[in-house]
Chain A
Amino acid sequence: MIVTLQVNGRSHAVEVAGWESLLWVLRERLGLRGAKDACLQGECGACSVVFDGELVCSCLVMAADAEGAEVTTVEGLGDAGGLHPVQQAFVDEGAVQCGYCTPGLAVATAHLLETHPDASLDELREALAGNLCRCTGYGAVLRAAVAAQRGGAEEAAP
């Protein structure tokens, strides 16, 4: 069946077979390999994307049900001008070890700072609890999240 959806602002009509997940369609049919395939059961958050305004695990979205949806993946965070501030903060803070969890963490952090720009450190921790990092890099990830938050606040200041 053909499913029409918006990914990172671009409309795609994509052939979807059977029970494919949105994650599969993003990676294998649209060539967007940022969202990662790890647990396939919503435990690890490596496949996190923004789906119609909500942060979700794309492995748990049935692609056939994504008709009409608007999706943002890590590829849609930055633009031609460069990295998204959250991505830049991850680079600056060295919040990347093996990198497998990084796209999901970047999308989750960017989504949180967009929806809750004043999140406290505890709220940041809770908001990122669904993104597992097996290199145990959470300290640097949280420093990056806070740095991105401060940067955003400075930008917004008059």
Chain B
Amino acid sequence: MHIERPRDLAEALAGFDSHPRATPLAGGTDLMVEVNLSHLRPETVVALRRVSELQTWDDRFVGAGVTYARLQAGPFPALAELARTVGSPQIRAAGTLGGNLGTASPAGDALPFLAALDAEVVVASHGGERTLRWDAFLVGPKRTALRPGELIVGVRLPDHIPARQAFGKVGVRQAMVIATVNCCVVRDEEGATRVAMGAVGPTVLRARAAEQLVSSTSRPSPSMLEEFQRLVSDEVVPITDHRATERYRRHAAGVLARRTLERCLAP
């Protein structure tokens, strides 16, 4: 195995230029599990923890190397809330936002927040930078639009971020748990609502019919909330796996989305 330990972004991108198929290593919380279980033996690793540009968090730009521990202490309530549900303190001290995107697990806890805000993913290579909206970046389970030689640099959030926002997660315990279903809801003062659901499809997805239903009203009635829950359950496309059945996930998605929306509606 060959490892590069770049000191800055230019060195990191040069590393990926010479080794376009190199494996990026940030917190190691996904990669090292695969390595320890002998599922993965990367030939070349570019280790990113010394690259200061990736640690940047400047208002709406969150660097790929920002850890869950930092997200947990940050200014966006739903992002802080979701970060707190990731793994344990040990995992949150190491795992990064960029890693959550790069791994592109359908259950990635940061992804519903990014989807609900229509965040953009900034990627760079030796040749330059490009920006992809979350749904152009996440193309399938554990698959991204990242090209050989490219590195995730960070995430750009929109200028307008509604104060009403919440994250919810269903799992078998309070700590150290991968989501069975996760969800982020944001709602602006005019009522425009966005609902992103994770672990219930090949990638995180938006429940657009449910969004439309509640976006037109300032105070959704109880029957409208029932209908909202039903629409979310209809719109998700879960599978049965070792964590839950398709049927359970479909039901839980509706209930979780409704409860998360209700938290956004609270005065």
Contacts and interface: CB of A to CB of B under 8 A. Distances in A.
Interface of A: 1, 18-19, 21, 40-43, 45, 48, 54-57, 59-62, 64-65, 67, 108, 126-127, 129-132
A59 B93 contact: no
19 contacts: A19-B42, A21-B36, A42-B29, A54-B69, A55-B89, A55-B90, A56-B90, A57-B94, A60-B32, A60-B91, A61-B28, A62-B35, A62-B47, A64-B47, A65-B45, A65-B47, A129-B176, A130-B88, A132-B176
Contacts, number: 90
A130 B90 contact: yes
B35 A56 contact: no
B25 interface: yes
B28 A43 contact: no
B266 interface: no
Q: Which of A18, A41, A48, A60 is packed against the most chain B CB atoms within 10 Å? A: A60
A34 B90 CA distance: 17
A62 B89 contact: no
B94 A59 contact: no
A140 to B, nearest CB: 19
Contact of B28 (A18, A62, A129): A62
Nearest to B38: A19
B45 A62 contact: yes
Contacts of A56: 90, 93-94
B212 to A, nearest CB: 38
B42 to A, nearest CB: 8
Contacts of B41: 18-19
B90 A57 contact: yes
B36 A57 contact: no
